[in-house]
Amino acid sequence: MEKFTTLTGIAAPLPRMNVDTDMIIPKQHLKTIKRTGLGKVLFDELRFKENGEEIPDFILNQSPYRDAKILITGENFGCGSSREHAPWALLDFGIRCIVAPSFADIFLNNCFKNGILPIALSGSEVDTLMADAQNPDTATMTVDLRKQTIQRSNGEMLSFTVDEFRKECLLHGLDDISLTLQQEDKIAAFERQQQQRLPWLWVNH
């Protein structure tokens, strides 16, 4: 998993509440187990017509938001099904940070496990960043995970909170597999001891 330390980029405004995972990536695109290539179908039904043509009014089809790295959106983002393809699609598009008043719990966990930083702020703070994002001249922001701040284009800093364990995982690029491999020596030692105490469990190993 790619480390997350500081992120400077365009923030795209998506002023919608209750954006569910089917809106983020519709069910017909869930046939793959690969994490790459899904960015092209992110918000598929909002971005494209049935014939595949872009919908010009959708924010991610406009410049400079085609290169957005941050998403500013409404409360309860990521509700609905638990599909992990949703953060995969966001990440593959280039979104590494999402700011909203609240997130669905499973989606929140999936974001952290895939290298995306979800930041919950008050409604008024989200409104401020939403207004910044809606103007291309002020849409560039810097997120500093170590300092837990978001710097607006005018230099003002907003602070956010994040679980300390999840913060350390993002800072060091540790997903669940990486965390497990940190205990590889202890796992190997346990297996050696078990082979001696319970050899019949290892007959076919």
> Per-residue pLDDT tens for 130-180?
999 999 999 999 999 999 999 999 999 999 999 999 999 999 998 766 766
Q: What percent of the chain has pLDDT over 70?
A: 95
Residues 189, 197: contact at Cβ < 8 Å? Answer: no
Residues 11, 134: contact at Cβ < 8 Å? Answer: no
pLDDT number for residue 62: 97
Backbone φ/ψ region at 174: left (φ over 0), alpha (ψ -120 to 50), beta: beta
pLDDT number for residue 19: 97
Residues of the chain with pLDDT under 70: 32-33, 176-177, 179-182, 205
CA-to-CA distance for 76 and 139, rounded, in angstroms? 23
Residues 61, 88: contact at Cβ < 8 Å? Answer: no
Neighbours of 170 (CB within 10 A): 25
Helix (H, G, I), strand (E, B) or coil at 65: helix
pLDDT number for residue 182: 66
Each domain of the chain, given as residue ranges in start order, spans 6-173, 175-205
pLDDT number for residue 195: 82
Amino acid at 20: D
| CATH classification code of 6-173 | 3.20.19.10
